[in-house]
Structure 1
Amino acid sequence: MAQPIDDWTGYDPDFLGIPVPLPKPLGAQEVVDLAYPRFTVLLEPARRLAVVTGVNIDGASLHDLERRGRWELDDRVPVDDQAGPGVYVDNDLDRGHLVRRRDPGWGTVAQAQAATAATFVYTNAAPQAAHFNQSKELWLGLEDHVLEYADTTDQRLSVFTAPVLAPDDPPYRGILVPRRFWKVAAWSPAGDQPLAAAGFVLDQTDLIDTGEARGIAPLGGFRTFQVPIADIEALARVDLGELVEADVLGPKAGARGVEWEPLHAASEIVLA
C-alpha cells in the first residue's frame, strides 16, 4: 500500500480547539496505533478488527468527490492481524467503512482525494450485513445530521466509531463478527458549553447468520439507537473520557437499566 508518510498525521486531538483525546480501550489487550490522513485506527490484532477509530471533519471545506478507492491491506501490519478479503468472499457481508470515505475528504482537492482513498484499507473495515433497511441509511447519515447542526458554530467534528468487540460474537472465517457498532460525534458549540457529544449504537444482531454465511434477515432487523455515552463506554469497554460529561443527553444518562429506544428518522436525534 502506497504511504505518503508526511501526510499521514492521524487524528488530531486539538482539532476542535479544546483537547479531545482519542479514546482508548479499557483493558490490557494489545492494540496497534495506525495513523492515516486525518484519522487514526487502533487495531486489536487478536480480533483482527479496530477497537477504536477517530477522524477529524472540517465541514467548511468538505468535497463531494466521486467514489474512488480499492480495498487494500495495510502493509505496516501482518496480514494475519487484519480481517482481509477472505472474510468477504462469496457471502452477503459488506466491508463496512468505520471512518466514512467522505469524512477526511476536506482541504484542497488533492488532499481530499488522498485522504478518501486512504479509507479503503481493511484495518478501517468491519463486516456488516449487506441487506439493510432505512435504519442503516440513518446510521450512515448520522454524521451529516450532526455536521449540519454544528454548522452554526465552527463546522468541525471529531467522530469516533468502532465495532463492539464482544467475546461472544459469532465466529466466522477466523474472526468474530461484531453484532453491534458504536459512534460518538463531538463538536464545540456556541455559548458556555465547551464540548458537546452524542452517542449512537447500531445493532445488526438479527441480520447476521454466520452459519449460512449470509447477511439476510427480516426487514426491521437493522436498528439504530441514540444512547447515553456512558452506556457505550461500558458496552464497548473503551475509555471515552470527557465525552461522557459532554453528552447532550446528560452525563448521568447512562442508567444501563433504561431500555434504548430505536431511531426511525434524523428528526428524532437529540443534539441540544
Structure 2
Amino acid sequence: MNENQKLLINELVQGQEITKDNSDEMIVEILNDSWYEASVGYDPKFLGDDYEVPHPTFRSDEQDIALLKDGSKVLHYTHFSIVMSKSRRLAYYTVVNIDGNQLRSIQRNDKWYLDPRIEIEYQCGPELYKNNPLDRGHLVRRSDPIWGDAAEKANKDTFHFTNCAPQHSDLNQKIWLDLENYILDNAENWNLKVTVFTGPVFREDDIVYRGVKIPSEFWKIAIMVKEDGNLSATAYLQTQKDLIENLEFTYGEYKTYQVPISSIETITGLNFGCLRNHDPINPLESHVIEVPEDIKF
C-alpha cells in the first residue's frame, strides 16, 4: 500500500467530523454565485464506465425537494452533491467521490456558509445550534472530497450548512469510525476509489426542537469495486434515539447496524436501483455491528 493510500485510511479512521464550537463565535458567510460556477459535483461514473452509480430516485416526497433558484434539484459542490428537503431544511442525501490516490491534507476552515443557490429558509443555520448539546455533524466528511487539484475548494465546500445535520454531542462515534476504516482496509480495493451516500432518516415522530424536527437515525451506503471486478454495495444504519429523547439529560447506547439496501430504501423513500443487486446480505437480514469484523461483504 502506497503512502497516499495509507493517508486515506488514516483520514477515514477519524470518522465523521463534528463541530462543537459555540454558535455565538461562529463566522457565517454567503459566497458569491461565481464560487459555484465550476462545481460539477458527484460523478456517477467515478468508479469506472462499467460501474455507473446514478443518483437515487424518489418513490415519494419528490415535491418536497428544495429547488435551486434555476429550477434544478441537485446542489453540486467539489466532488460531492446534495439534495435538500424544504420541509426539514436538511439534506435528503449527500453523495461523494473519494479518491485515495490523490488525497491531500488541508487545514480545516473556521467559517460556515449558507448556500445562495437555494432559499435561506430551506437551510438550518446557526440559530439551531446555539447554547445546547447539538453539534454540526458533517454528512460528507471533511476529509472525503479533499483530493486532487481542487482539494482547497472541496475543503471549503464541506462547511456549508446544507452539508451538516444536528447530532447530539454525546453520541459515540467509535463503531462508525471502525466501520469506515474496515470497509476501506478490507474491501480488496487497492485503487481505493469509493462512492458514499449518506443521509438522515426523516420520521413523523422526530422530536421538534426550535422549530426543526431532529433526526434520530442516519444511514450510509458505501460502493466500491472489489479486486475480482464485482461491485460491492453495503448499507448501514445508525440510531441515536436514546440520546435525543432529552436534549439536556441523555442516556442510552448509540448503535450501528448493517442492513439491506432495501431497508434504507423503505425508510427513506429513495430508490437506489440496481445497487440492491450488489448487496451481500439478503433483504430480511440485519445485525448490530459491535466490531468491524461483524461487517459482511
| Paired AA for residue 235 in structure 1 | I
1:65 partnered with 2:106: yes
Q: What are structure 2's unaligned runs of at least 5 residues?
A: 1-29, 68-73
1:173 partnered with 2:173: no
Q: 3-state DSSP class of the match of 1:65?
A: coil
**Could you tell me which residue of structure 1 aligns to residue 47 of structure 2?**
16
**Structure 1 residues 9, 192: CA separation in 2 closer, same or farther (over 3 Å shift)?**
closer
**Could you tell me which residue of structure 2 aligns to residue 83 of structure 1?**
124
Quick one: percent identity of the two aligned structures? 38
Contact 1:197 1:246 in 2 (8 A): yes
**Could you tell me which residue of structure 2 aligns to residue 149 of structure 1?**
186
Q: 3-state DSSP class of the match of 2:156?
A: helix
Deviation at 1:100, TM superposition (A): 0.6
Quote the Cα distance in structure 2 between the aligned partners of 1:69 and 1:25: 35
**Structure 1 residues 35, 141: CA separation in 2 closer, same or farther (over 3 Å shift)?**
farther
**Could you tell me which residue of structure 1 aligns to residue 134 of structure 2?**
93
Greater alpha carbon shift after TM alignment, 22-31 vs 40-49: 22-31
**Structure 1 residues 221, 213: CA separation in 2 closer, same or farther (over 3 Å shift)?**
same
Deviation at 1:160, TM superposition (A): 0.1
Q: How does 1:1-272 map to 2 (within 5 A)?
A: 1-2=30-31, 3-17=34-48, 18-27=51-60, 28-31=62-65, 32=67, 33-108=74-149, 111-133=150-172, 136-150=173-187, 152-193=189-230, 195-209=231-245, 213-214=247-248, 216-218=249-251, 220-249=252-281, 253-255=282-284, 260-271=286-297
Q: 3-state DSSP class of the match of 1:29?
A: helix
**Structure 1 residues 146, 69: CA separation in 2 closer, same or farther (over 3 Å shift)?**
farther
- Cα deviation 1:10-58 (Å, max 9, x = unaligned): 1110101121001233213331311100111000111101111110000
Q: 3-state DSSP class of the match of 1:72?
A: strand
Q: 3-state DSSP class of the match of 1:4?
A: helix
Quote the Cα distance in structure 1 between the aligned partners of 2:277 and 2:262: 9
| Paired AA for residue 202 in structure 1 | Q
Quote the Cα distance in structure 2 between the aligned partners of 1:141 and 1:117: 26
Quote the Cα distance in structure 2 between the aligned partners of 1:144 and 1:7: 31
**What's the RMSD between the two structures over aligned residues?**
1.8
- Cα deviation 1:226-252 (Å, max 9, x = unaligned): 111111111111111111111122xxx
When the two structures are aligned, how many residues end up with a matched partner? 256
- Cα deviation 1:171-225 (Å, max 9, x = unaligned): 11121111110000001122252x111100010100003xx543x422x521111
Contact 1:74 1:122 in 2 (8 A): yes
Q: TM-score w.r.t. structure 1 length?
A: 0.88
Q: 3-state DSSP class of the match of 2:235?
A: strand
